[in-house]
Amino acid sequence: MDRNRKIYIAGHKGMVGSAIWRALEEKGYSNLIGKSSKELDLKNQVAVKEFFKNEKPEVVIDAAARVGGILANNTYPYQFLMENMQIQNNLINTSLQADVEKFIFLGSSCIYPKLAPQPLKEEYLLTGPLEPTNEWYAVAKITGVKACEAIRKQFGKDYISLMPTNLYGPFDNFDLKTSHVLPAMIRKFHDAKQNGNTPVELWGSGTPMREFLYVEDLAEAVVFALENEFQDNLYNVGTGTDLTIKQLAELIQKIVGHSGELKWDSSKPDGTPRKLMDVSKMDKAGWKAKTSLEEGIQKTYGWFLENQENFKEVKI
């Protein structure tokens, strides 16, 4: 890949997009384009078309999405479905019309059926019902995957989809109303520690198992996908290892230094029992994650401590 190729990163201000931007800059890519949501509303088809007409990107990386945890998905199902479809449809279709040569679509492991066999293989897509607590977001992302697959099939273009497992890292969302489980735990344990090691209450039973990927590892996977031609349209990106939510809580509690009580509210939903990715396709392609969970959480908590006065609060 030519380092001067014009690359547009949609969502470059978010946790994922900013990590991709940093990874590309470190590799010597010098022609990167990014627009904030205030500068370019990706839900606006006319505005997106005008942007592509003026900027003429040669490569597009779609890291833009409305994201959130169980509470946000349950509370705002329409926004999670419609806004994500609007964003990705505008980007994918305009890229096709503008003859963009390479498109990398980023989704989520929640696209797979709730009770699919573990670990999750790419071929399990659309083989069973989704997890109800995030099906709106999942359905939107599935349409993006299938749109890229259809373009690949019909037009022979290098449009691929990368499905990361649960992500965390610098610039994460630590707002307790809308954040995912790992950053929410960091925030909860930190606040409780500051308040004299008060008890921390967490949702569910603590028994579901989850896999987590440090966002800078995902960024490296995106750069790898950019610089290589993949044979298929869909690839899982993760570590291939998981742990229970209870084990995660105890690890974060240790790293944060909270010594109070840990309580589980079993009246709250657990979500999918297990979501472990089969990452053998990416492994075979030549890429592996390198950051351990403990190292990644330590880095993330360090970032949180340095930025806690102005970290991202999400407004719905």
C-alpha 165/C-alpha 218 separation (Å) is 9
CA distances to 66, 148, 162, 234 from 155, in Å: 29, 10, 20, 17
Backbone dihedral angles phi then psi of residue 169, each to the nearest 5 degrees: 145, -165
CB atoms near residue 53 (< 10 Å): 11
> Per the annotation, does 109 bind a ligand?
yes
> Per the annotation, does 158 bind a ligand?
no
Element (H, E) at 287: none
Among the listed residues 8, 29, 137, 159, the single catalytic one is 137
> Per the annotation, does 108 bind a ligand?
yes
> Per the annotation, does 164 bind a ligand?
yes
DSSP 99-128: T-SEEEEE--GGGS-TT--SSBPGGGTTSS
> Per the annotation, does 167 bind a ligand?
yes
Cβ contact 81:29 at 8 Å? no
* Torsion angle (degrees, nearest 10) of CA 139, 140, 146, 151: 170
Side-chain-facing half-sphere of 43: CA atoms under 13 Å: 11
C-alpha 82/C-alpha 89 separation (Å) is 10
> Per the annotation, does 129 bind a ligand?
no
**Cα three-residue angle 158-12-171, rounded to 5 degrees:** 125
Cβ contact 256:190 at 8 Å? yes
286 exposure class (CB count in 10 Å sphere: 0-12, 13-18, 19+) = exposed
Backbone dihedral angles phi then psi of residue 202, each to the nearest 5 degrees: -120, 155
> Per the annotation, does 117 bind a ligand?
no
> Per the annotation, does 2 bind a ligand?
no
> Per the annotation, does 180 bind a ligand?
yes
> Per the annotation, does 14 bind a ligand?
yes
> Per the annotation, does 107 bind a ligand?
yes
> Per the annotation, does 210 bind a ligand?
yes
Q: Is 137 a catalytic residue?
A: yes
> Per the annotation, does 238 bind a ligand?
no
Which residue ranges are tagged as binding site for substrate? 188, 203, 210, 270
Known binding residues: 11-17, 106-109, 141, 164-167, 180, 188, 203, 210, 270
Q: Which residues does the annotation mark as catalytic? A: 137
Annotated binding-site residues for NADP(+) read 11-17, 106-109, 141, 164-167, 180
